[in-house]
Amino acid sequence: MSNLNNKKILLIICGGIAAYKSLELIRLLKKDGVSIKTILTKNGAEFVTPLSISSLSQSKVYQDLFSVENEAEMDHISLSRWADLILIAPATANTISKLANGNSDDLASTVALASNKKIFIAPAMNVRMWEHQSTKQNITKLKTYNYELIGPEVGDMACGEYGEGKMSEPKEIISKLKIYFKDLKLKTKLKAVVTAGPTKEYIDPVRYISNKSSGKQGYEIAKSLSKKGFETTLISGPTNLKVNNDVNLIEVETAEEMFQSTLKSLPVDVAIFSAAVCDYKVKETSKIKIKKQDKISLELEKNVDILDCISNHNSLRPKLVVGFAAETNNLESYANKKLSEKNCDWIVANDVSNESIGFDSDFNEVSIFYKNKKIDKLNYKSKSEISDELVEKIIDHLN
């Protein structure tokens, strides 16, 4: 189901040949389940008719600011409050100038100025008008007023010229609106916890068992989640990495410390276990430094399996649990086995025998394994790009 379903959009159609695109825009929005009310400016009515608009939107078209009938049904304040957002498409140079300078001499400009909602504008005008300094200044003003631009595009003009100023295509406009509502959902501050880096399992006060994990991928995932609006906690083993101030960093050393910190961070919506947790620890850690000997025997015992515990938690299991698998062979077989045994939702696996995507590399190449046997491959790219793609998939899943 589209994330536009049941959304309410107030569409303002201004004058210009691009107004014909607004009819297709209405058709596609209705297909996505949007409720639409429309304001048609006086100049807009020179290009499209109220009848064609109301037929597609299945709703009344508002035109005259001083219409007794309109005001009795819904005044300009109520109209602006009704909508989840306002979209002006096409937005002419004249309308942009009005809004930038606070003029309100018609219904469209009055509603926009009275609105407390996000306003998107899709400019459409001749390339020279778009490039004119006054238009540039007006656009800059509108951005400071929290208006959001969609387009314009570069292409052939109806006037025969070529350049920037074409109204964006309806599908592109709808794509931008979907991104807005998707990001808006995250503003409710979904919570995420990420584990990263190695753990240290001490033999004595100066020696320990560990692994080669750098923590780079986990740190990048935490940054990507935070950037997308998640309230993010990063539980990290020992690394030399830095993270954004808006990420809650908890530094630990041992697997047990990581486990306890994870439990204290619950409940969350998403848990991503990218840490390379030591599978074993020394059963009895020496309180003093063990002196050099010809031979030494260490009795090891299994560490707590953090991924398994959280995936099978009765009351605090996150909506999405993502495990990581660093393999040197049989990647697909081992990843699917881990996915099944740990009861997690996804496994992100990579081949660490490949030095270009190994533990300390800034690059990676991973495959995401799902319970439905589907596999998504994220080809060789920087770990930050891998993280951004992974987080987009997480957002799509949550939506």
- Asked, for residue 199, whether it belongs to a domain, the answer is yes
pLDDT tens by residue, 344-371: 999 999 998 888 887 889 999 999 999 9
Q: Which domain holds residue 36?
A: 8-185
Residues of the chain with pLDDT under 70: 1, 65-76, 185-188
Same domain, residue pair 180 and 202: no
Identify the active-site residue in 14, 159, 278, 309. Answer: 159
Same domain, residue pair 230 and 158: no
pLDDT tens by residue, 10-67: 999 999 899 999 999 999 999 999 999 999 999 999 999 999 999 999 998 998 765 5
Residue where a domain stops, chosen among 155, 185, 215: 185
User: What's the chain's length in residues?
Assistant: 399
- Whether 278 is catalytic is no
pTM over 0.95: no
Same domain, residue pair 174 and 113: yes
Residue where a domain stops, chosen among 123, 157, 185: 185
CATH no. for residue 343? 3.40.50.10300
Compute the distance between CA of residue 12 and CA of residue 275 in angstroms, rounded to an integer.
50
- SS3 per residue for 286-327: CCCCCCCCCCCCCCEEECCCHHHHHHCCCCCCCCEEEEEEEE
pLDDT tens by residue, 197-212: 999 999 999 999 999 9
- Asked, for residue 3, whether it belongs to a domain, the answer is no
